[in-house]
Structure 1
Amino acid sequence: MKKIVSHTSISMLLFYLIAQFLPVLIISAAPKNFQTEASIYGTIVSFSLGAVAMLLLNRKSNIKNSLTSSPSLPLKSVFYWGIVVGIPLVLLTQYFANIIEILVLGLPIDSINTQNILLIVESYPIYMIIVSIMGPIMEEFVFRKVIFGFLYDITGGIGAAVISSLIFAFMHFDGHILLYSAMSFVFCFLYSKTKNIATPIITHIAMNTLVMLVTFF
């Protein structure tokens, strides 16, 4: 049976791309002495609009696959899998992926992407809304609900998780492919287990927020 990309999927992908590139346009239009602030606040605005747009699109989603057609676990179970199971599982997976990257692949322990974000948050604490909330919401809709969900019936769960996780990792542009792929694989597992995109969103938001709080406090 031919697999058709839904209008909701296309719209979510478009909003994701707009959120990524809109700050570039804002920076180019800003005065030279205001470009840093334009980048920060432009990103906050574009990511916030993108996340809200995806939440609204999801309410009337026409994405059809085995995951969206299956009944979701009850809300109580979604929170259980998202917090009690999801957070420790992601942290554990991240820990072992870090060990492999350092000892086997010879990569530095620090992620350039993470370090840059921390520097921004240190100077502009409001940017944490992107790291902790808006970014995770958009990423889960795009990489889990759209890409993983689309591939799920074509390649099977494992194949879909591998492909979508590699795309997720490459989109972070800092070389820690195994680390980001491993985290993404857990998010895929949580989504497929509960059949509710809220589960990996909860885990992703909680994990990013926890990292930020531990780092600064």
Structure 2
Amino acid sequence: MKKLTRHTSVLMIVFYLIAQFLPAVILALAPKSLQTEAAIYGTIFSFFIGAIAMLLLNRKSTIRNSLTLAPSVPRKKVIYWGIIGIPLVLLVQYLANLIEIVVLGLPIASENTQSILLIVDKYPIYLIIVSILGPIMEEFVFRKVIFGFLYDLTGPIGAAVISALLFAFMHLDGHILLYSSMAFVFSFLYSKTKNIAAPMITHIAMNTLVMLVNFI
């Protein structure tokens, strides 16, 4: 049973890492005249494969911990908490950003977000990564695999802290508090519902709203 559990978890992490690094390989193989297109569409292809692979793995998931073994709340409540999580994560995001600006002296804008906005402005199809594919993979890896694994070892608070910090560091941005606070909300939603779809709904909606607000 433990081997099967590790097998599914490791595969999800492997597909996540492949999605992150495969675009660099595609870019290296692409002709110089198509470098930009190779980077954009290579990333979309990689994230699409990663997200689909994780969705398929999740259907036959062998991950076993307190969260996966506990019964999920009914589907209506999953959707309810997914929707409730939207204003909650936006509020937490706003407060964290305020603290970073006033107390830590960090710039308002996130370099990661600004870079993505520039790409989406030129290649709107890239929005599929930001709004759907990225959130799907991140929820599987950082919540279902990492938070779920640590949940029984460190308790919910310890699991939330560690997985949130990993989530923040993976964004390669200086706004650690901002990303960590969002991750705390996603972990809370997963813990509350015992269903990864709840934080996934919130994450997808939040990313989509942020993108839309910046382009209105």
The TM-score range, normalised by the shorter chain, is over 0.9
Question: Equivalents in 2 of 1:124, 1:71: separation in Å?
Answer: 41
Task: Say if 2:195 is the partner of 1:208.
Answer: no
Question: Equivalents in 1 of 2:5, 2:149: separation in Å?
Answer: 7
**Identity between Structure 1 and Structure 2 (%):** 76
1:122-152 CA-partner distances (Å, limit 9, x unpaired): 0000000000000000000000000000000
Name the structure 1 match of 2:10.
Answer: 10
Q: CA deviation at 1:3?
A: 10
Q: CA deviation at 1:4?
A: 8.5
Secondary structure (helix, strand or coil) at the match of 1:110 reads coil
Question: Equivalents in 2 of 1:15, 1:38: separation in Å?
Answer: 20
1:40-88 CA-partner distances (Å, limit 9, x unpaired): 00000000110000000000000000000000000000000001x1001
Name the structure 1 match of 2:58.
Answer: 58
Q: CA deviation at 1:187?
A: 0.1
Secondary structure (helix, strand or coil) at the match of 1:73 reads coil
Name the structure 2 match of 1:48.
Answer: 48
Question: Equivalents in 2 of 1:4, 1:102: separation in Å?
Answer: 45
Secondary structure (helix, strand or coil) at the match of 2:18 reads helix
Give the TM-score of the pair, scaled to structure 1. Answer: 0.97
Name the structure 1 match of 2:169.
Answer: 170
Name the structure 2 match of 1:148.
Answer: 147
Q: CA deviation at 1:32?
A: 1.0
Q: CA RMSD in A?
A: 1.2
Q: CA deviation at 1:6?
A: 2.0
Name the structure 2 match of 1:97.
Answer: 96
Give the partner amino acid of 1:26: I
Name the structure 2 match of 1:39.
Answer: 39
Name the structure 2 match of 1:160.
Answer: 159
Name the structure 2 match of 1:22.
Answer: 22
1:16, 1:142 within 8 Å by CA — same for their partners in 2? yes
Give the partner amino acid of 2:42: G
Q: CA deviation at 1:185?
A: 0.4
Question: Equivalents in 1 of 2:213, 2:93: separation in Å?
Answer: 16
Name the structure 1 match of 2:194.
Answer: 195
Change over 3 Å in CA distance of 1:4–1:157 after alignment to 2: farther
How many residues matched? 215
Q: CA deviation at 1:214?
A: 1.2
Q: Which runs of 5+ in 1 are unaligned?
A: none
Question: Equivalents in 1 of 2:20, 2:93: separation in Å?
Answer: 25
Superposition misfits of 4+ residues, deviation over 3 angstroms: 2-5
Q: Which runs of 5+ in 2 are unaligned?
A: none
